[in-house]
Structure 1
Amino acid sequence: MEEHEWWKDAVVYQIYPRSFQDSNGDGVGDLQGILRRLDYIAELGANVIWLCPIYASPNEDNGYDISDYQKIQPDFGTMEDFECLLREAHKRGIRIILDLAVNHTSDEHRWFAHSRADRGNPCRDYYIWREGRGGGPPNNWNSWFGGSAWQYDAPSGMYYLHIFSPKQPDLNWDNPAVRESVFQMMTWWLDKGVDGFRMDVISLISKPETLPDGPGGDLSPFCINGPHVHAYLQEMNERVLSRFDIMTVGECPGVTVEEAKKYAGFSRGELNMVFQFEHTSTTDGPYGKWSDRRVWLPDLKKIFFHWQNGLKGAAWNCLFWGNHDQPRAVSKFGDEREEYRARSAKMLATCLYLMQGTVFLYQGEELGMTNAAFDSLGDYRDIETRNAYRDLVGGGCVTHDEMMRYIHRVSRDNARTPMQWDASPNAGFTTGTPWIGVNPNYKEINAQQEQSDDRSVLSYYKRLLRFRRENAIVRDGDFMPFWPEHDKILGYTRSLNGDTLYVLCNFTDERMPLLEIDTHGRYLETVFCNYEEPGPWALRPFEARVYLVRA
């Protein structure tokens, strides 16, 4: 294994700026709002902030459609605000990594404006343009946001590719000038002092030159892990990343363990880590993510154990339950009912954050925030959610009531409701009208209330993250599944220098008898439990128990 790097010890706190803290009453979170909450993040035990996009954007996809990489979105503030935030975070020992979307830009980016202006413009080849076929698009690919992945441009008489919205045209990474422009922009930010990048859908940047039809219109087999993706990332590493002491993590839909070793292998010269989404996809159904299925624990265990053992000694894991694109962790993987919400939130944290890897926790997860489940489709702002409703309900695939159940379970807006700071109007997020509705349960679930309660989810997170920081066994210990066939309990051990940590988590609302643990006569010390009182030799509903056997 390579020498120890700071990002292996990191606890990354993901901020969705639009929903974190509004400082000026316009209903939109901003950089000055984040600045006000730096001490909260430091006290939690996080030492890295991942900022979702703060660049100039028309907000077709809430900032992932970038119109200028080197300007701040005015809703969020100014470049001076960002530079102040960066300085103040560094004073507190907190690094900041930026979200970088370079698979595509906004159609309002100057590159695209020049590209579509005429076929002879030097920027024409910055994007993927093709002639139509048989009076229609160049191939049968469907966009991940619905409809064709090709948009016809009448003035030039050609189509351009967009894996996402028509307002998010894909960049042509085969063009060296595109790569040079991206590398210059990245270097500009790193020279400014940022501490790395989370790279949006980075596994999609390379497309095959022939652009063949996909099975049933699916572009995934050709765009995911495309033909030159690793060459382009190695070039990025050589030209930019290797020159700085930074953290890099790639969002890689469809990545396997073997592919992850290519993207993030210790000797590959590409990225530090990748996000994989096998565990978040365990509830998918006939309509992809749009489903109300519940997680089946044996599937979850198989995935976690495969990644822990598969990357051992070769690459580094990312540990996360949720993010800005996923429903709230406690609603999907735990139980949001009042009697179980806090208990299951603590259990989920214990289960995942004692595995080997870097912790990524999403704003509000440390409070046990839940899905909002708005009554009306009109309350949702997410383009993916609205387009899916149009396609599935409008296409006669599902009824309105069925689709609303799916939206309540998995819409991205479940994670994008405002951070719940206190019980004052709008949860202390804004003095104005919030850009999206606040979850009505904010009076019961909020940071102010949990900071004063030693038994709260927030207090438990602080203790758990401190334990990670102070015990090398969590970072470096060997991983071994425990009771792998059990369909209600997820268990594993971490072992280092003769010490063994036993992690046992009950994923049900039932009492689960424990099997025998052979400690070879050594004392079994309880170091964590999400129940306050000592328990019997059984796991109570959603109980997490952590034992340590010392050498």
Structure 2
Amino acid sequence: MSVNTIKWWQKSVVYQVYPRSFQDTNADGIGDIAGITQRLDYIKTLGANVIWLNPIYASPNKDNGYDISDYDSINPEFGTMTEFKTLLDKAHQLGIKIIMDLVVNHTSDQHDWFIESRQSKNSDKRDFYIWRDPVDGHEPNNWGSYFSGSAWKFDEATGQYYLHLFVDEQPDLNWESQRVRDTIFDMMNRWVDRGIDGFRMDVISLISKPDGLPDGHIADGAEYSNSDKIVPNGPHVHDYIQEMRQKVLNRADLITVGETTGVNVENALKYANLDGSELNMVFEMEHVSLDHNPNPALQRWYDQKVDLRKLKANMSKWQNKLYGVAWNSLFWGNHDQPRAVSRFGDDRPEYRERSAKMLATLLHMQQGTPYIYQGEELGMTNAHFDQLDDYDDVETKNAYHYLVERDHLIDGETMMRYIQAQSRDNSRTPMQWDNTNNAGFTTGKPWLKLNANYPKINVTESLKNPDSIFYYYQKLIQLRYNEPLVTTGKYQLIDEDDAAVYAYLRQGKDDALLVINNFTDQTLTRHYTQYTDQKHVDLLLANYADDTGETLRPYEARIYKLSI
């Protein structure tokens, strides 16, 4: 890969903002657009040059904004279009680009399109959604919702079912309809005209459903089939995205990333090919699925750490197979995942900072565009709430209802332990700005309970400490901007069978980066002289103040520059 062919988004670092939990300015307990504007200088100081905003459109909030009722209106909870324009203008003045969440696999059932679609079988917008007759008095097929239960909802008015891969109130759009596609593309163009810099495309790999909507395999103990094994990467998905490219994405120098649920490497080579025919990059979900429950009926609900060897094998596969052909996103967490340091690292007080820096080192030195989820740069942890009532997330509550109360697949105590490990609300607790009441997030009542550790883990404390996780992220970001090997170097895993250390090279023609990460709380000895002998060795960054050579301390991370 030539440095001369590098696109700006390949060297970028994205900071993800979950608006509801970032900063509240009007004391209603809900973060808002004005709050994001207020904190832009903080993001600029960190060094990120792109912000991804989770949905801020009009929504009844059955799934926290991912059920959109009007794509061209701002949710009044977040502010106004004028305030959004102010945010966009100030971000651009600071050299920060803004990408919007594009949610077009489904809408809210309160969207005008669906309200009209469900009026009758002859409605002008009947074809905007996926309607089917009952089969033997039941659902049209055995698909399960991602949020538990059936993926079909019976509508009394017309005697048909509509498809919803998520909650009942999120009917799936029918992308086979040219009118649907053109209407969506027109909406996207209006946002491009407003000046946004790109799109993060929610579950974009689900928009093309399998021909004939066939039944899927039902796991032992489950009532419905797993849609993730049936729906993703349907027969026309690449046709639809290529059409989007021609009708929208080629109009400006946009950054585009697809959340490609169920994607494999072969499909990613199409979605994110460097030929520019579809998207710039993908979010693949394999590495954040490795710690899911071995019982498929329980899906993500589990509390065991991932085997490092499996993680290395998976991440290495993506690094090697996309190299020079397609582009990947790098992430540990987001609004749908637990906190990274609790999941992949060690959030015990004595190890939290070291392991958070180690995880950042491992990720940011790989090839791809890194995404930092708000609070990750502070080492924010899982919430560890004790009561189900403390959780807001519809997926969490549905899972408890179905798995514990209805189907009795698991006992309540075990399920609560799994929820503490995996619930999406772990990442949605309010941003921890300082040690004042409600962590400086709001002067009202927060929409979601705060993490109890905010008096110690917050922005104010991080900015006061030159050795904080925040400043370590800042250094990693600058290293990415300044060191071409981080973008262009070829990846080589070192010792795939090592269950305790993740080490790899990023190789250039005459130089390389050696990245070493101890994934344990143990002091270890490792020898990498075969890579460093007869080379000039510089330590670029580490999470300990001194270099002890072959001795690796708990959660130690180092980045060496090797040159001939």
TM-score by length of 2: 0.96
Alignment partner of 2:541 out of 528, 535, 545 = 528
Alignment partner of 1:404 out of 399, 416, 429 = 416
- The one-letter amino acid paired with 2:554 is P
Alignment partner of 2:468 out of 453, 456, 473 = 456
Say whether 1:136 aligns with 2:147.
no
1:213 and 1:319 map into 2 onto residues whose CA distance is 34
Determine helix, strand or coil for the equivalent of 1:407. Answer: helix
Say whether 1:339 aligns with 2:347.
no
Say whether 1:252 aligns with 2:265.
no
Say whether 1:541 aligns with 2:516.
no
Say whether 1:479 aligns with 2:491.
yes
- The one-letter amino acid paired with 2:290 is T
Alignment partner of 2:108 out of 106, 110, 113 = 106
Say whether 1:468 aligns with 2:476.
no
Partner of 1:496: 508
Alignment partner of 2:166 out of 131, 142, 164 = 164
Deviation at residue 536 of structure 1 after TM alignment = 4.3
Partner of 1:45: 47
Determine helix, strand or coil for the equivalent of 1:234. Answer: helix
Deviation at residue 268 of structure 1 after TM alignment = 5.7
Partner of 2:222: none
Partner of 1:380: 391
Deviation at residue 516 of structure 1 after TM alignment = 3.5
Determine helix, strand or coil for the equivalent of 2:529. Answer: coil
CA distances 1:120-166 after superposition (whole Å, capped 9, x unpaired):
11101000000101111111111111111110110111110000001
Partner of 1:271: 279
Superposition pairs of residues 300-319 of structure 1, within 5 angstroms = 300-319=311-330
Superposition pairs of residues 289-368 of structure 1, within 5 angstroms = 289-368=300-379
Alignment partner of 1:428 out of 440, 443, 448 = 440
Unaligned runs of 5+ in 1: none
CA distances 1:404-454 after superposition (whole Å, capped 9, x unpaired):
100000000000000000000100000000000010000010000110101
Partner of 1:261: 269
- The one-letter amino acid paired with 2:344 is F
Partner of 1:79: 81
Determine helix, strand or coil for the equivalent of 1:279. Answer: coil
Deviation at residue 209 of structure 1 after TM alignment = 3.8
- The one-letter amino acid paired with 2:354 is R
- The one-letter amino acid paired with 1:360 is Y
2:496 and 2:227 map into 1 onto residues whose CA distance is 36
Partner of 2:239: 231
Alignment partner of 1:63 out of 62, 65, 87 = 65
1:465 and 1:209 map into 2 onto residues whose CA distance is 44
CA distances 1:167-223 after superposition (whole Å, capped 9, x unpaired):
000000000000000000000000111000000000000113411111112333431
1:270 and 1:482 map into 2 onto residues whose CA distance is 33
CA distances 1:299-338 after superposition (whole Å, capped 9, x unpaired):
0000111000010110011110000000000000000000
**8 Å CA contact 1:262, 1:268 repeated in 2:** no
2:440 and 2:169 map into 1 onto residues whose CA distance is 34
**8 Å CA contact 2:229, 2:262 repeated in 1:** no
Moved over 6 A (4+): none
- The one-letter amino acid paired with 1:99 is D
Q: Percent of aligned pairs with the same residue? A: 54
1:477 and 1:134 map into 2 onto residues whose CA distance is 58
Q: How many pairs align?
A: 551
Deviation at residue 244 of structure 1 after TM alignment = 1.1
Deviation at residue 522 of structure 1 after TM alignment = 2.3
Partner of 1:12: 14
Partner of 1:444: 456
CA distances 1:49-77 after superposition (whole Å, capped 9, x unpaired):
00000000000000000000000000000
Deviation at residue 22 of structure 1 after TM alignment = 0.3
Determine helix, strand or coil for the equivalent of 2:453. Answer: helix
- The one-letter amino acid paired with 1:535 is T
Deviation at residue 45 of structure 1 after TM alignment = 0.6
1:197 and 1:359 map into 2 onto residues whose CA distance is 16
1:209 and 1:497 map into 2 onto residues whose CA distance is 48
Determine helix, strand or coil for the equivalent of 2:334. Answer: coil
Unaligned runs of 5+ in 2: 219-224
Determine helix, strand or coil for the equivalent of 2:67. Answer: coil
Give the aligned CA root-mean-square deviation in angstroms.
1.1
2:181 and 2:261 map into 1 onto residues whose CA distance is 21
Partner of 1:174: 176
